[in-house]
A and B are shown apart, each in its own frame.
Chain A
Amino acid sequence: MATTRILEGLGRFYIVLLLGFLYLPIIIMAAMSFNASPFYQLPFEWTTDWYQSLWQNDQLIAATWNSIEIAVITTLISTVLGSMASLALYRYEFRGKKVLQALLFPPIAIPWLITGTAMLIFFFGVGIGRGFIAILLGHVALALPYVIVVVSARLQTFAPELEEAARSLGANQWQVTMRVTLPWIMPGVIAGGLFAFAVSFDQFVVSYFLSTPGQTTLPVEIYAAIRKGFTPEINAVSTIIIVVSMALMLLTARFFKFGGEK
């Protein structure tokens, strides 16, 4: 038993090392955003100047508003459309259902580089071009499969007898959906919506190909800034982004247990 205990101890230690590997760079980046030296020189001197100078950076602020606006609209559209589709896939049996479910896979599995450049070509060809509408079209398409998968998972726990009972008590289709089914799947819908927001807010590759200098998103703006050379200002805005997206995922985890019990 002694060997078992030693091995288990080593295992725990290994997990700590892995967490260090995952979080250390992020923590260092965040720490550097509070360091006074513009060239990341040590010793460390506390300052919030970089966060204050973010407020004067009109370009970053405009990109941030764009990002939030796009993420909110993406969330609304993909949650509604995705929940509708999940409901249909759950309720009805028809030929080609398997195909429709399989079609959700490409947007998730194909590298964004390919999807992004393909969108650029197509939107240019049909006259939509680049900009706000193009980015929105792309983001909703990327978020939809996630919403459908999450809401469908929640629907698996739904007892269809409840719908039958409501119908036999005289409720029509619309009432059954709104009063019985929707309240039950709400945690899934909320988790799906949070996923959609995260997919859109963190999306870089597709936005990168579809943005124009006037119409961009925060990650695209950050990428441009990184390629020009690093400043603690980028650290500051990156720190804000990472805190927001991690908080968002913790919130999602409350509504939807990843791979755990339903």
Chain B
Amino acid sequence: MADQLAIGSRRGLKPALPLLLPAYLWLTVAIFLPLSAMVFFSFMTDLPLAGKEWSFTLGNYAVFFSQSLYSTLLFASLRLGLEVTLWCIVIGYPAAYVLAKVLKGRSREAIFLLVILPFWSNGLVRIFSWAMVLREGGILDTALNAVLPFKINIDLMYSYPAVIIGLVHSYVPYMVLTCYLTLQAIDDSLIEAGRSLGASRRQVLWRVIIPLSMPGLIAGAALIFVPVVGSFMEPRILGGRTGTFYGTVIEDQFVAVFNWPLGAALSFILLAVVLIILALAAPVLRRAG
């Protein structure tokens, strides 16, 4: 009767294995082995395919460290990630606050769903939809010229701001979601207590609300920063020639230049950066869990 001590949870890996193996074997073949292969491959001179000479080398990493182009681009991508994350906080946090503390009942539920919905629709298509708005003679240009008394030319397409706008549009629902979850958990009586003790609205915001919602902010920041640093499709479509980032260079190694070992090394460096960021955010994420 030992297993009745912990109802529902029984001991032993053996009976669990047949249920676990298929899923984890699949993940091994399609995720973990490929990631290991990428590391291995980044130390090779060429593809280990039939008839090709190859040997081990540190050359691919030497390229990254000797040519400033790659580190410059990695830096540009990190900056892009930081800017997009900041904009997502500025735009998303107030929205999460209104959702959590101002709206009630069914209207809150409906608007929450409306904010999250685009996030789960096709990312590529949403980026493309901005091309309709931002190009010269596009909607923004036409609308502004119809309203303004003087003629201006808005041609944001193929520029850095266009890439920022597209990425913020793609990722801001993440920030709303994570901040909403932590803001909703803050007891209203804490806010009232602060107010009745004579704190101003601003003091309550900075001393009570923001510190308590920090886990949501950090979780959202990590979930946005990481994919933005590795983005390539968004800069390609909205950035045009100005849209060269670390991600687009990796893409090039695999689909245009066919220097796979260099691509693997660049990917692995990105992976290392990403893992460091996730490791820094992990304690907070776990607490927010």
Contact = CB atoms under 8 A, between A and B. Distances in A.
Interface in B187-245: 223, 226-227, 229-233, 236-237
B12 A94 contact: yes
Contacts of B150: none
Interface stretch (A53-61, A116-124, A182-190): A116-124
Contacts of B233: 204-205, 208, 223
Contact of A117 (B48, B97, B112, B267): B267
Counting chain A CB atoms within 10 Å of each CB, the highest count among B26, B116, B125, B232 belongs to B125
Contact of A125 (B37, B226, B236): B37
A72 interface: no
B9 A93 contact: yes
A198 B120 contact: yes
A242 B27 contact: no
A23 B109 CA distance: 18
B138 A40 contact: yes
A219 interface: yes
Contacts of A32: 132
Nearest to A168: B4
B98 A230 contact: no
B113 A19 contact: no
A219 to B, nearest CB: 5
Contacts of B48: 125
B133 A15 contact: no
Contact of B129 (A26, A119, A140): A26
Nearest to A258: B116
Interface in A64-110: 77, 81-82, 84-85, 87-96, 100, 103-104, 106-107, 109-110
Given A14-B95, A234-B128, A107 B38 contact: no
Binding site of B, secondary structure by majority: helix, strand, loop or mixed? Answer: helix
A245 interface: yes
Nearest to A198: B120
Query: For the side of the interface on A, what is the size category?
Result: 35 or more
Query: For the side of the interface on B, what is the size category?
Result: 35 or more
Contacts of B128: 29, 222, 226, 230, 234, 238
Interface in A206-262: 208-209, 219, 222-223, 226-227, 230, 234-235, 238, 241-242, 245-246, 248-250, 252-253, 258-260
Interface string B151-185: 00000000000000000010011000100110000
A109 B41 CA distance: 22
Given A18-B95, A84-B23, A94 B129 contact: no
A14 B94 contact: yes
30 contacts: A15-B111, A18-B91, A21-B91, A26-B125, A26-B129, A82-B23, A88-B19, A92-B12, A93-B11, A94-B16, A109-B223, A109-B278, A111-B227, A112-B227, A114-B271, A144-B23, A144-B26, A160-B9, A164-B8, A202-B121, A219-B122, A219-B124, A223-B233, A227-B236, A238-B122, A238-B125, A241-B122, A245-B122, A253-B113, A258-B112
Interface of B: 4, 6-13, 15-17, 19-20, 22-24, 26-27, 29-35, 37-38, 41, 47-49, 91, 94-95, 97-99, 102-103, 109, 111-118, 120-126, 128-133, 137-139, 142, 169, 172-173, 177, 180-181, 223, 226-227, 229-233, 236-237, 247, 250-251, 254-255, 260, 263-264, 267, 270-271, 274, 278
